[in-house]
C-alpha cells in the first residue's frame, strides 16, 4: 500500500499568504480543521426525559464481536494503531476472544479509550486551487478496534429505527419517495398547500456540530 502524501507542497493561510515549510503547513491544517469542527454554533435543546423500564441490556456476546469483525471492509487504510481489518479477520479464534475483552470493558465503564478517539486525517482534493484548504475534504482513518465496537452498537440500535430507509441494509427510500409523490398529487388535486422541509447538514455533517436536532414537518 502506497504511503499517503500531501498533494501540494505549499498552501495558503487565512490571509492568503503562501506557506511552504513543513511545520507551517501542518500548523495551518491543524488550524483549519480546528475552526471547521469546533468553532460552530451549538444549539442546546432540552431532550425529553427517557423512560426507565428497568431493563438492563446484556454486554456484547462473543458472537456479536466475531460478526462485527467479519463485517469489516478489507483493503482499507488502518488508523493510528496500524491494525488492518485483514489482520483481525484471519488471526483465529484465540485472538477473537482477546479482542472481545476490550468490548466488554468499554461496555462496562461506558467510556472508550483515548486511542480509539484518535484518527489520521487524509486530505482529498475536491476541485479548484490546490493551495486553498477549503478545496479539500478530510477523510479520517479510525482505529479498527473502534470500528468493531461501533458495528456492535449499530446492530444493537438498528431495530429501534424503523423509519430509516436510505443507507440502511435491506431497505431503500423507494417507499418514502412513493408516499411523498402521492401526498403531492392528492394535495394539489384538492387545492391544498404543500410544504416540503429539507435539511442539508453541509454535506453530511461536514462543517457543523449538532447536539440535538428537533425538526417538525407540517402539511397545511
pLDDT of residue 68: 93
Predicted confidence (pLDDT) per residue in 68-109, tens digit: 999 999 888 888 888 899 989 888 888 899 999 999 999 998
- What does the pLDDT average to over 64-71? 92
Q: What's residue 61's pLDDT? A: 92
Helix (H, G, I), strand (E, B) or coil at 8: coil
Here the cell at position 140 is: 479520517
For residue 217, the model assigns a pLDDT of 35
Mean pLDDT of the chain: 78
User: Grid coordinates standing for 47?
Assistant: 431532550
Q: Under a CB-based contact definition with an 8 Å cutoff, are residues 43 and 211 in contact?
A: yes
Which residue ranges make up each domain of the chain? 1-45+55-160, 163-220
Please report, to the nearest 10 degrees, the dihedral formed by the alpha carbons of residues 148, 153, 155, 158 taken in order. Answer: -140
Predicted pLDDT at 220: 38
Span 16-42, average pLDDT: 81
Among 46, 62, 36, smallest CA distance to 148 is for 62
Measured in degrees and rounded to the nearest 5, phi and psi for residue 153 equal -65, -40
pLDDT of residue 8: 73
**pLDDT at residue 149, rounded to an integer:** 93
**Residues 119-166: pLDDT tens digits?**
888 888 888 888 998 889 888 888 999 999 999 988 887 776 666 666
- DSSP classification of residue 178: H
Nearby residues of 219 by Cβ (< 8 Å), 6 or more positions away: 183, 187, 192, 194, 195
pLDDT of residue 95: 87
pTM: 0.65
| pLDDT surpassing 80 at residue 7 | no
Amino acid at each position: 500500500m502506497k504511503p499517503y502524501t500531501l498533494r501540494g507542497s505549499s498552501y495558503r493561510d487565512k490571509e492568503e499568504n503562501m506557506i511552504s515549510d513543513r511545520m507551517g503547513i501542518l500548523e495551518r491544517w491543524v488550524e483549519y480543521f480546528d475552526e471547521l469542527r469546533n468553532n460552530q454554533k451549538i444549539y442546546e435543546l432540552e431532550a425529553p426525559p427517557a423512560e426507565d423500564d428497568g431493563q438492563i441490556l446484556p454486554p456484547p456476546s462473543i458472537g456479536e464481536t466475531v460478526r462485527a469483525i467479519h463485517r469489516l471492509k478489507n483493503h482499507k487504510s488502518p488508523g493510528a494503531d496500524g491494525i488492518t481489518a485483514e489482520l483481525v479477520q484471519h488471526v483465529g479464534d484465540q485472538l477473537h476472544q482477546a479482542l472481545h475483552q476490550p468490548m466488554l470493558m468499554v461496555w462496562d465503564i461506558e467510556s472508550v479509550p483515548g486511542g480509539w478517539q484518535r484518527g489520521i486525517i487524509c486530505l482529498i482534493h475536491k476541485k479548484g486551487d490546490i493551495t486553498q484548504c477549503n478545496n479539500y475534504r478530510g477523510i479520517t482513518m479510525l482505529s479498527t478496534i473502534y470500528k468493531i465496537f461501533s458495528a456492535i452498537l449499530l446492530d444493537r440500535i438498528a431495530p429501534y429505527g424503523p423509519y430509516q430507509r436510505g443507507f440502511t441494509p435491506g431497505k431503500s427510500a423507494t417507499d418514502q419517495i412513493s408516499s411523498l409523490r402521492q401526498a403531492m398529487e392528492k394535495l394539489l388535486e384538492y387545492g391544498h398547500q404543500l410544504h416540503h422541509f429539507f435539511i442539508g447538514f453541509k454535506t453530511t455533517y461536514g462543517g457543523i456540530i449538532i447536539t440535538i436536532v428537533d425538526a417538525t414537518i407540517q402539511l397545511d
